[in-house]
Each structure stands twice: as structure tokens, then as C-alpha cells.
Amino acid sequence: MHKSRLAGFIIDCHTADLDGAARFWAGALGYALKPASNAVAEADYRHFETGDTGLHVEVQKVEHPSRVHLDIETDDIEAEVKRLEKLGAKRVQQVRTWWVMEAPTGQRFCVVRPQRADFAEHAHRWS
């Protein structure tokens, strides 16, 4: 048995100015930018302050065209990926600890480890 739920939204930006993109989206969404905890590991990411129970929202620098994708957080990535495959999703690429998936309708999304503090209390339980 495992748990999963929507973690949040990732704003993929094909840009040379990630800080400028992050400032735009911070202003557009009304979120403050979080300071980076590890500048090297987070060089291609800018995270927003949404509170402990808010959705995870970030801007990331990418090489593909700009788009928005969602993340599904889970306490068992392999079990969640298999559950989604049964629904028709396909594995696209494993990146570090997470999987990039593709829905039957073509949208890309990621299956990631828990991102929010209240995950255990509010995630869907799957058997």
C-alpha cells in the first residue's frame, strides 16, 4: 500500500535568465521567492514560499520549450509509477530520484518523493 497526491506545479522556462523568470512568476502569482538552501544543487530551480500546506510551486530552467507541468508526490515512487502505467501513462525518463511520465493524452508530469509537510495526513491511500 502506498500514498500519493498532487504535489504542485512546475513552471518550465526555456530561458537564459532564470532569476528574471522567477521574479515575473513571483509577481504574477503573489508568492515570495525562497532563498536557495544549496546554490549548486538548485542552480536550475527557484522555489516559491507557499506555506507548509500550500502547493509546491517552482520555476525550473529547461532545454525544451517552456510549459507548465505538475508533480505527483508519493511515499513509494515505483508503486505509484506502476499504478499510473495501469491507467495508461508511460515512463519517459528517470531523473535522479523521480520519474518523468507521459499521460495517454501527451502531457508530461513527474512522480516525486513527498514535497509538503502534511503529505501523510492528506494523501490518497492506494492498495
| Alpha-carbon torsion angle 63, 78, 102, 66, nearest 10 | -30
As a whole number, mean pLDDT of residues 75-102 equals 96
Could you give the C-alpha distances from 125 to 25, 109, 116, 119, in angstroms and in order? 33, 20, 16, 11
Secondary structure element (H or E) that encloses residue 10, with its range? strand 2-13
Domains and CATH numbers, the chain: 2-126 (3.10.180.10)
Length of the chain: 127
d(CA 124, CA 86): 17
Higher pLDDT, 44 or 52: 44
pLDDT, averaged across the chain: 93
* Residue 89: per-residue pLDDT: 96
pLDDT band at 66 (very low <50, low <70, confident <90, very high): very high
